[in-house]
Structure 1
Amino acid sequence: MARIKDVAAHAGVSVATVSRVLNDNPSVTAETRDRVYAAMSALRYVPNAVARSLRTEATRTFGLIIGDILNPFFTQLARGVEDEARRAGYTVIIGNADERAEEQDHYVRTLVGQRVDGLLICPTAEVTPLVQELVSTGRPLVFLDRTISGLDVPYVRADGAKAIAELVAHLKAMGHRRIAFASGPATLSTGRERTDAFAAAMTEAGLEVRPEYMAAGDFREGSGRAITAHLLDLAEPPEVIFFGDNLMTLGGLDEIRSRGLRVPDDVAVASFDDVTWFVHVDPPITAIAQPTAELGRRAVRLLLDRIEGRTGESVALPAELVIRRSCERKGA
């Protein structure tokens, strides 16, 4: 097994520098950090915290690493995880990756160092050497909400394809034809899945998928607003904007209202992800609701299977279309 001095030699740095990288010391440059990570991957180096944890006794704790703590989806997901873990006699320690691979790895190292019995991770787009090592060492691990191609890790996620098809059919029945989709990033499985499902549903409904109506954001408010501005500035703007998540929807609503436009008279709005405040805006927002709390509960059960030596099966739970007034046509 490779040692820390082997990593240092391979990367052309000192052992102290490798140690600083492993401890997320901000003094390390990005170029040096990348060299060290590349060396760890090439040598299949397992950080001491990981190796040590494989020999420890159970602590009755889980680690949960979420994508963005400011996103209501993830807070509700965490609540579902906590509720189910508590029933099973476990405590949950939560880390916020802020959609950054280096923050995700920081929490992986910290949680493994705390000797958690298993990890639930909403993975970032980047496959890091540390996550690869977790998989190769067989540590109890479940991906939640998202998956990563090429890694054999059980997962719990929502399947929104049927609900997206129902939304497109609803929009068509309302008389809408020019439908835009503000998706999440293609680097994330959720972004790809929703984009593919939207394109397939539009084709099945006999509606044109116009390239200028397809734009990718980052599942955050600012990108939703920027995409909406771009779409509304087109020579022929869309009649409907379907947003890939709730925060992008919020940003889109801000841009629409800043222009003095009205929903749905000037532009209709729909969202993937339903949140409680959607029913309190005027008009209430049509949304695709994920079974968020149940995703968290099922993920805990699957992780317990892994901890107790059972295989456990990956789970895809269906999302549901919730029709409200934000997609009505004038005079309908």
Structure 2
Amino acid sequence: MTSVKDVARRAGVSVATVSRVLNDSPTVTPATRERVLAAVAELGYRRNAVARSLRTDATRTIGLVIGDILNPFFTELARAVEDEARTLGYSIVIGNADERPDRQDHYVRTLLEQRVDGLLLCPTAEITPLVRGTVRDGLPLVFLDRTLPGLQVPTVRADGAGAIAALVRHLRDLGHERIASISGPALLSTGRERTEAFTAAMRACGLPVRDRYLEAGDFRAGSGQAGAARLLDLPEPPDVIFVGDGLMALGALDEIRARGLRIPHDVALACYDDLPWFTHLDPPVTAIAQPVQELGRRAVRALAERIEDRPVASVVLTARLVVRRSCGEKEGSGPA
């Protein structure tokens, strides 16, 4: 079995330096940190024989690593996971990856060293050696919300293609033709899926897909505001902006209001992800609602099955369109 001394020898540093890197100490230089983590990956090192302890020493704890704790979707998802885990007798330890592979790996490594019984992971776009090794070793792992290509891991996620198609048909029926999209990053499965579903729905409805109306963001408010600014600066701006998540929608709202534009009279707005405060805006925002509570429940149940060495299949739930008044709907419009 690989030891910490082996890692230190491979990286050309002291055992104490390896320990500081693995504990995410800020006193280590970036170059040294990179060298040590490369040695860890190459040697497949895990402290305290974690791979074996996960199978033999139940701690009744589950690790959850999410993309961004500031994103209301992940906040609600974490709460759903915690509630379901408690009913099954588990406690949750949460790590916020902040959409960064290095932070994701830090929390995955830390949680494994703390001997959690299993991991729920909302993976970043990059397939890191640590995540690949965790899959290879057969540790109890379930992907939540997102997938990674080429890795055979049970996944619990929502399919929004049908809801996006319903939204585009709804917009067409309201008379909209110039429909733009601010999607998430193409490197993330959720970003790709929503963009592909949007363009497919536009074509199915006989509406033109204009490259200048396709903006890519990063699921952060700043990118939503920047994308909305570019769209509204076009010689022929869109009459609807469909935003790929709640934080980017917040940024788009800021930009629309900063310009003194009215929703939906000057520009209509729709969002993927239905946030609680959407109903309190004037007008309330038309949105695609993911079954967040059910996602959390099903993910915990799937992981519990994996911890018990039972076969687990992936789960795909369905998102739905919630019609309000931000796209020019009449007063009293209800769910589509």
- Aligned partners of 2:304 and 2:188: how far apart in 1? 26
Query: What's the TM-score once normalised by structure 2's chain length?
Result: 0.93
SS at match of 2:317: strand
The equivalences for 1:213-224 within 5 A come to 213-224=213-224
The equivalences for 1:84-99 within 5 A come to 84-99=84-99
- Aligned partners of 2:12 and 2:201: how far apart in 1? 52
Partner of 1:189: 189
- What residue identity is the alignment partner of 2:256? I
Partner of 1:82: 82
Partner of 1:311: 311
Partner of 1:45: 45
Does structure 1 retain, via aligned residues, the 8 Å contact 2:54–2:116? Answer: no
Deviation at 1:2, TM superposition (A): 3.5
Provide Cα deviations, 1:31-55, integer angstroms capped at 9, x if missing partner: 3333333333333333446346336
SS at match of 2:176: coil
Does structure 2 retain, via aligned residues, the 8 Å contact 1:101–1:128? Answer: yes
SS at match of 2:119: strand
Deviation at 1:259, TM superposition (A): 0.4
Does structure 2 retain, via aligned residues, the 8 Å contact 1:40–1:129? Answer: no
Provide Cα deviations, 1:116-147, integer angstroms capped at 9, x if missing partner: 11111111122222222221221111111111
Partner of 1:135: 135
- Aligned partners of 2:307 and 2:262: how far apart in 1? 52
- Aligned partners of 2:319 and 2:32: how far apart in 1? 43
The equivalences for 1:1-40 within 5 A come to 1-40=1-40
Structure 1 residues 52, 30: closer, same or farther in 2, change over 3 A?
Answer: farther
- Aligned partners of 1:283 and 1:219: how far apart in 2? 23
The equivalences for 1:163-312 within 5 A come to 163-312=163-312
- Aligned partners of 2:288 and 2:280: how far apart in 1? 16
- Aligned partners of 1:170 and 1:289: how far apart in 2? 15
How many residue pairs match? The answer is 332
- Aligned partners of 1:27 and 1:188: how far apart in 2? 32
- Aligned partners of 2:234 and 2:223: how far apart in 1? 17
- What residue identity is the alignment partner of 1:160? G
Deviation at 1:233, TM superposition (A): 0.6
- Aligned partners of 1:54 and 1:283: how far apart in 2? 51
Deviation at 1:7, TM superposition (A): 3.2
- Aligned partners of 2:113 and 2:275: how far apart in 1? 35
Does structure 2 retain, via aligned residues, the 8 Å contact 1:61–1:90? Answer: yes
- What residue identity is the alignment partner of 1:224? G
SS at match of 2:115: coil
Deviation at 1:12, TM superposition (A): 4.0
Provide Cα deviations, 1:246-271, integer angstroms capped at 9, x if missing partner: 11001101100010000001111000
- Aligned partners of 2:204 and 2:35: how far apart in 1? 47
Does structure 2 retain, via aligned residues, the 8 Å contact 1:81–1:297? Answer: yes
Structure 1 residues 106, 42: closer, same or farther in 2, change over 3 A?
Answer: closer
- What residue identity is the alignment partner of 1:57? D
- Aligned partners of 1:8 and 1:60: how far apart in 2? 33
Query: What's the TM-score once normalised by structure 1's chain length?
Result: 0.94
Partner of 2:334: none
SS at match of 1:251: helix
- Aligned partners of 2:219 and 2:321: how far apart in 1? 19
Does structure 1 retain, via aligned residues, the 8 Å contact 2:47–2:113? Answer: no
Structure 1 residues 285, 329: closer, same or farther in 2, change over 3 A?
Answer: closer
Deviation at 1:20, TM superposition (A): 2.3
- Aligned partners of 1:43 and 1:312: how far apart in 2? 30
Deviation at 1:293, TM superposition (A): 0.6
Does structure 2 retain, via aligned residues, the 8 Å contact 1:61–1:91? Answer: yes
More displaced 10-residue stretch of structure 1: 114-123 or 13-22: 13-22
Deviation at 1:83, TM superposition (A): 1.6
Deviation at 1:192, TM superposition (A): 0.8
More displaced 10-residue stretch of structure 1: 17-26 or 286-295: 17-26
Partner of 1:58: 58
Partner of 2:147: 147
Deviation at 1:243, TM superposition (A): 0.3
SS at match of 1:180: strand
SS at match of 2:177: coil
- What residue identity is the alignment partner of 1:176? H
- Aligned partners of 1:225 and 1:2: how far apart in 2? 48
Percent pairwise identity: 69
Structure 1 residues 58, 329: closer, same or farther in 2, change over 3 A?
Answer: closer
- Aligned partners of 1:181 and 1:156: how far apart in 2? 25
Provide Cα deviations, 1:150-172, integer angstroms capped at 9, x if missing partner: 22111100100000011111111
SS at match of 1:54: helix
SS at match of 1:126: coil
